[in-house]
A and B are shown apart, each in its own frame.
Chain A
Amino acid sequence: GESVGLHLPTLSVQEGDNSIINCAYSNSASDYFIWYKQESGKGPQFIIDIRSNMDKRQGQRVTVLLNKTVKHLSLQIAATQPGDSAVYFCAENLHLTGNQFYFGTGTSLTVIP
């Protein structure tokens, strides 16, 4: 999972396996969450989002799960491919702060061919 610090958590998976990346968010009043993918030297790309009135949302090969009880968010990537290798981080938005987000430090995913 993500944490504050100088070293990113890492995850290595075999090509074709499923990946699960975790994020512990900080504020129980946060009500909107986004997962981003960031390749080396590039800007973050939006992957999927979820609002707090849902506990699961699916996209193409990706699923986000939200557990508000323990303030935990996860991103599941099905049939992981080499092109999925990147840093993944979550962002939380605190209700009523407008569009100000708090970003996690990220998890580095490496897909082994």
Chain B
Amino acid sequence: DGGITQSPKYLFRKEGQNVTLSCEQNLNHDAMYWYRQDPGQGLRLIYYSQIVNDFQKGDIAEGYSVSREKKESFPLTVTSAQKNPTAFYLCASSIDGNRRANTIYFGEGSWLTVV
């Protein structure tokens, strides 16, 4: 089936640790995104990538890092510099991120909790 796969679904991080959230898509989409969702707030953009080997900071990039070495993969690392990482993280993709707006499709999300 075509879609966006995020893993793990649940992840616990100790203070001072870096953790990486995986996102894979088999939709042949050029653009991929990472959003953060907190209770009572709209989705906030962390990073996005319009094409392989290129990515841009979103509104809340501090404390996060990404890579885009393959078209289908866009992993997100939550570093120890992110002071409030507990949240629901959503990966998304769209056919093209560069021209006229088109639909963004989401994965099932990953819950990250700091312990």
A residues neighboring B (CB under 8 Å):
4-8, 31-32, 34, 36, 41-46, 49, 89, 91, 93, 95, 98-106
Contacts and interface: CB of A to CB of B under 8 A. Distances in A.
Contacts of A42: 108-109
Contacts of B100: 32
Interface string B21-59: 000000000010001000111110100101000000000
A43 B90 contact: yes
Given A5-B40, A105-B42, A43 B101 contact: no
B71 to A, nearest CB: 16
A7 B90 CA distance: 21
Given A42-B109, A43-B90, A98-B98, A49 B40 contact: no
Q: Mostly helix, strand, loop or mixed at chain B's interface?
A: loop
B45 A100 contact: yes
A100 B96 CA distance: 11
A49 B103 contact: yes
B99 A98 contact: yes
Contacts, number: 64
Interface of B: 4, 6, 31, 35, 39-43, 45, 48, 50, 90, 94, 96-109, 111
Nearest to B41: A105
Contacts of A95: 101
A49 B45 CA distance: 20
Q: Mostly helix, strand, loop or mixed at chain A's interface?
A: loop
23 contacts: A34-B103, A34-B104, A36-B106, A41-B111, A42-B108, A42-B109, A43-B4, A43-B6, A43-B90, A44-B43, A44-B106, A46-B103, A46-B105, A91-B43, A98-B50, A98-B97, A98-B101, A99-B97, A101-B104, A102-B42, A103-B42, A103-B43, A106-B42
A7 B103 CA distance: 27
A64 B99 CA distance: 24
